[in-house]
Structures are given as structure tokens and as C-alpha cells.
Structure 1
Amino acid sequence: MEELKRPTKRRGFYVKMRLLNKNGRQQDKNLCFKYYKWVLWFSLTLYFFSSYFINHKPIPLSKTRFTNSKSNHLSRALIESVNKTFLQHPTSNNRGSLRDLKIYVYALPSKYNTDWLSNQRCSNHLFAAEVAIHKALLNSDVRTFDPYEADFFFVPVYVSCNFSTVNGFPAIGHARSLISSAIKLVSSEYPFWNRSRGSDHVFVASHDYGACFHAMEERAVADGIPDFLKKSILLQTFGVKYKHPCQEVENVVIPPYIPPESVQRTLGKFPVTGRRDIWVFFRGKMEVHPKNISGRFYSKKVRTDIWRRYNGDRRFYLQRHRFAGYQSEIVRSVFCLCPLGWAPWSPRLVESVALGCVPVIIADGIRLPFSKAVNWPEISLTVAEKDVSKLGMILEHVAATNLTSIQKNLWDPSVRRALLLHDQDQEGDATWHVLRALSEKLDRSHSRSRVPLQSHVDT
């Protein structure tokens, strides 16, 4: 038999298949490698983009609201972690410093506040801080609708609104009874006043002698601070560096109210760095009435001395009568006199700063608002009441030496912002500084401390 021969291998086919198998496995490996490389690239890209947005666009604390106290703490911890980079580089006006402050605003019947706004002057005159602060708190991020988590309680009573006559004499004899009535109401309907004896309750006293609620110092001192307010916090325009019965209460010195809109309108027509063709400016009362022509009572005779000594001096632009457009005179002036009136403070102080005129403060011992935020010695001059006779010489010396430096500091927009109260609080504005001052008094918060507190004066 013919021997069966084993078929010879088809080496071409065999090699071809080996190559195909080898290439196939190689292609599979290449696909896997490409897939994993793509996943790795995508993951790294996502990681870096996420890191960038977290570090550069922190979650705004002002837009975060919580209702549950437990979730509040957890969420707040998460937000602070996410914003760690942002909070590590705070500015002087970092809103983060207010992130834990909570204020409850009592919803009082309208007879205590908004009814008086039918008179337009009530929200625009120099005492209108009580209105502006109330409006700002209603719109503020620090407002809480849960009184049990509040650090402070704001009692919105307007005592000067509609009670200041056009001639400028405030009639506020009703203030004590109106505030007392509001306190009786909140203490009967809520437990918060009684539990802290009012130490975490905040009121506004934007009058000549603040918490004493009278325009004349002798009467203000004689009446004193009402007993029902002695443990509370007063936001008041009155403040002095020496011991005075009308500031012997926990207080924050605030600026008198100047409508921000009026400042904006004036600066829209006259830039703060524009031409200043008035050297020294003052417009206002020099004497109260003919029976007081000596001026020895009003302004402690300071204004009368200014008038008698400098009225004929061409360097001084002194006017005794009202003028609706007087801000246009301030913005054209180099120096603006801010002498005391019935009380040490004056709205001219804010108007001068806001319009870039160097304020010349003539009020011995005055305590100025927000001294931690506004470097008063760098933006103003202080002249002792007894040195009014040397006023011309003092201002000439300043003009020849460091006037340019003072104006540079004064014209910083942050300085103007710090003294203006807005209906909607803005970071770095006057309301914001009020809130920051309150945040420094959290030891008075019942929700943070259960220990009975005693009043002390803010310095």
C-alpha cells in the first residue's frame, strides 16, 4: 500500500494566522490602553476644573439659607470648607466676618414706624438713620425669621420721624412713652426681652443726645437714659470721649443720615477731584434767635466767634441761610467747617467726607463713628474750640504742607461708602459697619451665653 503521507503544512497560511492573532491581541491592548488613557485624562481635567472653580468662585454665604439647625451646622461646615481658600485671604471688608451673625427684626404695628413715612422728610432728614437701618435689616442676609436662633433683636421704633420740624428743632418728648409701649408689647408677646432683660435688644437713637432723647444737653442730662433701656444696645449719633450720662449704656456711634442718592447726584455733576474754588466753607445757623445773639448757649459760642472773626475774610465763604443746592458748594470747597451745634456731632461731617471736602472738626471730645474703619486723623482736621481765633493760620499751614496727602486719603471711595447708610446694606457701607460692631458684642447674645450681663460702653 502506498504509504499515506502527512499533508505538508501551509506555512504561508500558518504565518499569516499567527500574525493576525498577534496583531489582534495587540490591537486589543492598544484599545484598552487608549480607553484607560482617555479616562485618566478626563478625570484629571475634571479634577483641575473643579479645583479651579471651588478656589476662585466660592459659594456666596449670603445666598445660603437653612431652616433646620442641625443641617445648618453641617451645611455651614461644608461651605466654610469649600471657601477655605477665600477665607484665608480676608480683606478689611470681608463679609465672612458677619457670616454667623443673626438678627431678628420685630414686626411691630405700623403706628410705631411706617405710618410716619407719609411725610417724605421722615426718611431723608439728618435723624433718618432709624429708618435706613430698619430697611437695611429687613433686606439683609443677617436677618433671621427664627427668633430662637437670633443673636440680637432689633426694635424698629421711629421716634424722630415726623417729629423734627422744618426749622430743625427736634421735638422728641414722646420718645420715652413710644419706646416703652413697644417694649411692653414685645415682652408680653415674646419671651426674649424678659430672658435677657433686654441686653440683646437693639434700638436707634439718632438725636442730639442719643439715648437721653432730648435736644438740649441740660434737659438730656437731667432726664437721663430711661431705665427700661439701660441694659440694651443703642445705635446713636451722639458720642464723646469723656464720661457723659447720655452714653452710659452699651452703644455704637453711627453717622447721621445723608441720602446716598443726593451725594450721587452731586458727584455726577461735580467730580470729587474737580476744581475747588472755595477755600473755607460753612453754611448754617450762627445764632438761634435774637434773644441769644451772643451765641453763648448755642454751639458754645463757637459759631458766633467764627462769624464775627471771619465773615469779612475773603478766604472764608460763610452763609447763614438755607440753600437747597448747598452740596454743590461743599464739593467746590477745600475745607468745610464742622463746628458743634446743640450737640458735638453734625451732618456736615458726613457731607464733607462724602463730597471730598476736608472736614474741620470743631467739637472738643467728640467720638467719631467707625474709628476702626475710618482713619479720621488722615482725612480730617481737628481744631480745639478755644483755637477758633487761630483757624485761618491753622488752615494756611495745612494747605502749605500736607493738604495733598489728606485729600488723597479722603477721596478714597471706601471712606465715603463707610459713612453712608443704604436701604440695602452693602459690604463696607455704614450699615455693614453697624453689623460688624454688633458682631463684636456677641457676648451679649443669649443664644451664645446664658450668663447675666452688665452694660458697658463701646469705646
Structure 2
Amino acid sequence: MKKEIFHDMAVFDEEYKEMNRSLKIYVYPHKKNDPFANILLSIDDEPSGNYASESYFKKSLFKSHFITTDPKEADLFYLPFSITNMRNDKRVGVGGIQDFVKEYIVEISEKYPYWNRSGGADHFYVACHSIGRSAMEKAIHVKLNAIQVVCSSSYFLSGYLPHKDASIPQIWPRKGPSPTNAPSQRKKLAFFAGAMNSRVRENLVKTWNNDSEIMVYRGRMKTPYSEALLDSKYCIHAKGFEINTARIGDALYYGCVPVILADHYDLPYADILNWESFSVIVSSLDIPKLKLILQAIEYHHYVKLQNNVMQVKKHFQWNSFSKDFDIFHMTMYELWIRRSHLRHMIY
């Protein structure tokens, strides 16, 4: 089994340096007095909640050296609308998102020449809320042409194309250094807690509800969630209503090896990182065999997985001021890869 964390560290290192040096992003400008500034501009508040990745990305980009005010030197164009903020804005709401996006694209295509030049293929937007999947239904060129950087990245669902689009981790914001326990301190084999909003989760809990080594819980726990993550060797990511949840980020933050049961999931950075080096990927059909699968992993191999978790966790971390190799920079690298495919098509 391949043990290296990166598919090709030398290639990544060289291209990452070039990306950091030369990638330029043009953001469509909007004024602070725009009636929809809360949707189009970065907010000053610290991002919070399950869908914070969307806001963190925007804040990081607006403060970064990747921004250019000269569209002629731009590699990519950022569509700065926030799906989450649209959803929470009473003027738009869930029912108005599709119309808002459609009207926005019409507006920028009439005011600027850049969308029409490529049909939107050198444009991108970032969305973490699952409703982002249907937000483009009335702006079909965004769905088909633009790069969609989304948390809800399933091969199984229409509208997500993994070589065009990119998967961004869904991360619950946390401050300060992450606590962790050494492998020898983790007494439980595996852990899961969550709402019963999918057949995968229902099957998982039904199968292992009374087990003493695989700890599964319906809904919220009475004891601290963090203690269970710290006390377990493996932490289970099981598909909920959507294929993405914050549980992979939770597991990595607390040094727990993720067990991924979400079939058809385009895992974040899959073209950069070798997920088998720091996680265990199991088909949901094999839930009845889960204990046997995990017990069959020899202790020295588990220790290697856990050590690799400690190395990759920085790639799944948002920072108030972005740092090299954090989520922001890894996502920019994903865009860099995709921008190289676009050049031959557009120019």
C-alpha cells in the first residue's frame, strides 16, 4: 500500500511555488453601499457555523497577494456572491437564489467583457451550503462552464464535474492549537455521533448500537464530543443529508484517523493528497464488516496513519491570516491546476 501523503511531493512543491508567485485573481468590484453588499463583499465578522469555509475563503482572498485590479493579467475571475448569505437574507431566501445568480451573471456579462470571452470557463465561485448545488439551475453556463468550488462534491449527483470543479473541506471554525492524544492513549476503536438523516447513518447505528468498541450515537451526546474524538483511534465520516459533513475536519483536528463511508465523494485535494495514507475508505455496503476491517489494521500501520493525520491537518485549517499550505492556499492550488487547462481553450 502506498504510504506517501502526496501523490508527487516534488511536483506539488514546484508548482505550489509558481502558483504562489504568479497566480492572479480578478474579483468583480462592488461598493460598500451596494444594497447587496452583505452577499457580494467580505464581512468583518469572524466566520462561524457549519458553512464557514465559504466566508473564510472570501476573507482570505480579499486580503491576499493573489488579487489583481487589472483584469488583463488575471488568470481567473471570482464571482463573489455568497450562497449562505443569500439563503439567510430575507430579500432573497432559498427560493430566490437561482434568480439572484441568473441576474448577477446577466449584469456582469453586460457590464464587463470577461464572462463572454470564455463563456464563464475562467470564472469560479465558492459555496459550502448544499443548496449551492441547485443555485445555478437558471444560470446554466455557470453550472456547465465555471469552476464550482464546493463542499458538496459528489460524483453521484449531476452538476459536479471533478476535473472541472473542486472540492473544498467543510470545516467547523476553531481557534488555538488543537488538542490531541497519542495512539496509545486512544482506548476506543471507533466513534460516530450525528443526526439520523441518511440510510448510511441509520444502518451504521443499527448495526453497531450495542457494541463496546465501536461507539455510535444518535444525535447529540451527553458527554463532550471532543472527548470521544480524542479517545478513539478511528472517527467515522458517514454521509448525512449531503455527502459532505464537518466530521472529516473534526477527526483531523483531534488527531483521529478518519473512516470514510461516504460513497461517490470527491474528497478534498484528491488530486494532491493520497487519502489512503491518512484515512480508511470503506464502502457503505461493508458497514457490517467495519469492525473486522478496522481490527485487521495492524497497530504499527495505525500509528503510521495517525502520524500522517498529524502532518496533513494543517491543510484542513482556516487561519484568520492565511498561512502557507492551509485550506486557503490548498484551494488556490486546486484553482491553479484548473486554470492551466483553461488557457489553451480560451486564448
TM-score bucket (shorter structure)? 0.7 to 0.9
**Corresponding residue SS for 1:345:** coil
TM-fit CA distance, 1:182: 2.4
**Root-mean-square deviation (Å):** 3.3
The TM-score normalised by the length of structure 2 is 0.82
Change (3 A) 1:328 1:437: same
**Corresponding residue SS for 2:249:** helix
Q: Deviations over 1:161-188 (max 9, x none)?
A: 37479xxxxx744321222232233223
TM-fit CA distance, 1:350: 1.6
Unmatched runs of 5 consecutive residues or more in structure 2: 1-9
**Corresponding residue SS for 1:246:** coil
TM-fit CA distance, 1:370: 0.4
Q: Deviations over 1:259-308 (max 9, x none)?
A: 142xx3542xx45668323332111112xxxxxxxxxxx42x22112222
Counterparts of 1:247 and 1:177 in 2: how far apart (Å)? 20
Aligned with residue 253 of structure 1, among 167, 170, 181: 167
Aligned with residue 260 of structure 2, among 356, 361, 368: 361
TM-fit CA distance, 1:226: 3.6
Percent identity at matched positions? 25
Partner of 2:294: 395
**8 Å CA contact 2:51, 2:129 repeated in 1:** yes
Q: Deviations over 1:231-285 (max 9, x none)?
A: 211101233445x412148311111132142xx3542xx4566832333211111
The TM-score normalised by the length of structure 1 is 0.64
Change (3 A) 1:164 1:311: farther
Counterparts of 1:239 and 1:191 in 2: how far apart (Å)? 30
**8 Å CA contact 1:154, 1:203 repeated in 2:** yes
What amino acid maps onto 2:211 in structure 1? D
Q: Deviations over 1:53-82 (max 9, x none)?
A: xxxxxxxxxxxxxxxxxxxxxxxxxxxxxx
Partner of 1:409: 308
Counterparts of 1:435 and 1:127 in 2: how far apart (Å)? 18
**8 Å CA contact 1:336, 1:359 repeated in 2:** yes
* 1:434 is the counterpart of 2:331: yes
Partner of 1:227: 140
**Corresponding residue SS for 1:433:** helix
Counterparts of 1:151 and 1:315 in 2: how far apart (Å)? 51
Change (3 A) 1:426 1:116: closer
Partner of 2:153: 239
Q: Deviations over 1:143-177 (max 9, x none)?
A: 11222221111111111237479xxxxx7443212
Counterparts of 2:36 and 2:19 in 1: how far apart (Å)? 35
TM-fit CA distance, 1:224: 5.3
Partner of 1:310: 208
Q: Deviations over 1:24-63 (max 9, x none)?
A: xxxxxxxxxxxxxxxxxxxxxxxxxxxxxxxxxxxxxxxx
Counterparts of 1:224 and 1:401 in 2: how far apart (Å)? 49
Partner of 1:184: 106
Counterparts of 1:422 and 1:93 in 2: how far apart (Å)? 22
Partner of 2:190: 280
What amino acid maps onto 1:275 in structure 2? Q
Counterparts of 1:125 and 1:117 in 2: how far apart (Å)? 16
Partner of 1:63: none
Counterparts of 1:173 and 1:421 in 2: how far apart (Å)? 30
Partner of 1:129: 53
**Corresponding residue SS for 1:335:** strand
> Mean alpha-carbon deviation: is it higher for 340-349 or for 131-140?
340-349
Greater relative contact order (Cα < 8 A, sep 6+): 2
Aligned with residue 113 of structure 1, among 16, 38, 42: 38
Change (3 A) 1:240 1:186: same
Partner of 1:321: 219
Change (3 A) 1:283 1:399: farther
TM-fit CA distance, 1:131: 0.8
Change (3 A) 1:248 1:94: closer
Q: How does 1:314-353 map to 2 (within 5 A)?
A: 314-322=212-220, 325-353=224-252
Change (3 A) 1:231 1:90: closer
Unmatched runs of 5 consecutive residues or more in structure 1: 1-87, 166-170, 214-222, 287-297, 454-459
Change (3 A) 1:225 1:363: farther
**Corresponding residue SS for 2:190:** strand
Larger Rg: 1
Partner of 2:4: none
Partner of 2:5: none
